[in-house]
């Protein structure tokens, strides 16, 4: 397939999926009802959620500087802050393009070579992935009885165990052949896994490793907290138990990768998770839209202002470079 067609599909397909999911969610809850939920919402909790989200983004911008120091670049916090928000905003247009733009902005305004700046972003994503896996394990531990009961109720226990055993056997067989194979695919897999391990270990070799780890945990703590406090904005949800919050947060987080910034998919992912805990459909979808819209508003405002202000903030550097 032509590379141009592939690139076009990467942009168009998530947008089409987002449009379809918007239509589907609105078929569940009409716009009029969503507006009623929005009008009756407690905006004190929504604003608090937006503030917590903003704190997580600020922490992410500050954390990035710790990765740049060991490679010899002491960049201004203003540039990392605005680059992070600009990247978030760009991801709403072209999926994953924000990471490329983020590294490019530091190249333009701080003189950081693109490949080095992009490498720190990849290492950052590895750290985030580890924390996300940790959240999933904590959720599994806290909700083991519920998840186990849910699976046993809907699936044959023997089949579940059989699939798990088969899955483990296939994993070890694949790992065995990949470690010994010299094929192009095997080499790519080994290089990827090696890069993951190297990225994780590099964190512990940093001079400011504990500060980096603190900010990583803080970022994700704020993510979960903003998701939780915003549930109080919708009285129809009732008191959402911690297990439902964690499952909902995980489901919503994965939805962001499905479409541009989670548009359309975010509310449905929240509803799918909350439904497992018997939380009503309409307030769940309404909460998902309010949660997504409030955080998107933060990104649009801060990201838009960042793209406008970046050249002004760096006008001295541009003159010197020119």
The answer to whether the CB of 286 falls within 8 A of the CB of 37 is yes
* pLDDT (0 to 100) of residue 295: 94
Number of residues assigned to the chain: 322
Helix (H, G, I), strand (E, B) or coil at 50: helix
Q: What is the pLDDT of residues 54-98, one digit of tens each?
A: 999 999 999 999 888 877 888 899 999 999 999 999 888 877 788
Query: Residue 48 and residue 200: Cα distance in Å, rounded?
Result: 33
Query: Residue 154 and residue 159: Cα distance in Å, rounded?
Result: 11
Say if residue 191's pLDDT is above 90: no
Query: Residue 138 and residue 80: Cα distance in Å, rounded?
Result: 31
Say if residue 302's pLDDT is above 90: yes
Name the band, by pLDDT with cuts 50, 70 and 90, for residue 200.
low
What's the whole-number average pLDDT of the chain?
83
The answer to whether the CB of 89 falls within 8 A of the CB of 303 is yes
Q: What is the pLDDT of residues 246-266, one digit of tens each?
A: 999 999 998 887 777 788 889
* pLDDT (0 to 100) of residue 207: 78
Helix (H, G, I), strand (E, B) or coil at 280: coil
* pLDDT (0 to 100) of residue 8: 56
Which DSSP string corresponds to 260-279?
A: GGGTTHHHHHHHHHHHTTT-
* pLDDT (0 to 100) of residue 168: 83
Say if residue 147's pLDDT is above 70: no
Kindly report which listed range (8-12, 89-93, 132-136) carries the lowest average pLDDT score: 8-12
The tokens describing 216, both together, are 């990583």
Label residue 105 exposed, middle or buried (CB < 10 Å: 0-12, 13-18, 19+).
buried
Helix (H, G, I), strand (E, B) or coil at 224: helix
The answer to whether the CB of 124 falls within 8 A of the CB of 64 is yes
* pLDDT (0 to 100) of residue 170: 84
Residue 104 vs residues 222, 268, 309: alpha-carbon distances, Å: 27, 34, 16
Phi, psi of 314 (to 5 degrees): -110, 25
More confident residue, 297 or 318: 297
Q: What is the pLDDT of residues 230-249, one digit of tens each?
A: 999 999 898 888 888 999 99
Query: Residue 277 and residue 298: Cα distance in Å, rounded?
Result: 30
Residue 190 vs residues 128, 171, 222, 292: alpha-carbon distances, Å: 21, 14, 34, 37
Query: Residue 156 and residue 118: Cα distance in Å, rounded?
Result: 46
* pLDDT (0 to 100) of residue 208: 80
Helix (H, G, I), strand (E, B) or coil at 308: helix
Q: What is the pLDDT of residues 46-58, one digit of tens each?
A: 999 999 999 999 9
């Amino acid at each position: 397939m032509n590379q141009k067609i592939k690139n076009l599909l990467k942009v168009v397909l998530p947008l089409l999926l987002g449009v379809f999911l918007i239509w589907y969610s609105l078929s569940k809850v009409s716009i009029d009802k969503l507006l009623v939920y929005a009008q009756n919402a407690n905006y004190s909790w929504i604003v608090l959620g937006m503030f917590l989200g903003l704190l997580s983004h600020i922490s992410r911008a500050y954390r990035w500087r710790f990765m740049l120091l060991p490679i010899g670049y002491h960049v201004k916090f203003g540039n990392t802050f605005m680059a992070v928000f600009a990247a978030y905003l760009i991801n709403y247009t072209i999926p994953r393009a924000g990471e490329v733009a983020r590294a490019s902005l530091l190249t333009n305004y701080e003189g950081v070579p693109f490949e080095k700046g992009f490498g720190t972003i990849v290492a950052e994503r590895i750290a985030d992935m580890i924390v996300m896996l940790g959240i999933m394990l904590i959720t599994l531990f806290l909700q083991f009885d519920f998840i186990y009961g849910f699976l046993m109720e809907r699936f044959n226990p023997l089949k579940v165990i059989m699939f798990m055993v088969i899955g483990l056997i296939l994993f070890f067989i694949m790992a065995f052949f990949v470690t010994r194979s010299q094929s192009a695919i095997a080499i790519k897999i080994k290089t990827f896994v090696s890069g993951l391990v190297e990225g994780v270990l590099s964190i512990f070799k940093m001079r400011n490793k504990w500060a980096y780890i603190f900010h990583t945990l803080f970022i994700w703590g704020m993510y979960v907290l903003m998701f939780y406090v915003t549930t109080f904005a919708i009285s129809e949800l009732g008191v959402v138990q911690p297990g439902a919050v964690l499952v909902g947060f995980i489901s919503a987080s994965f939805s962001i990768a499905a479409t541009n910034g989670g548009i359309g998919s975010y509310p449905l992912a929240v509803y799918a998770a909350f439904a497992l805990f018997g939380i009503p459909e309409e307030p769940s979808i309404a909460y998902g839209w309010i949660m997504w819209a409030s955080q998107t508003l933060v990104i649009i405002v801060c990201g838009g202002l960042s793209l406008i202000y970046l050249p002004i903030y760096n006008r001295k550097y541009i003159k010197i470079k020119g």
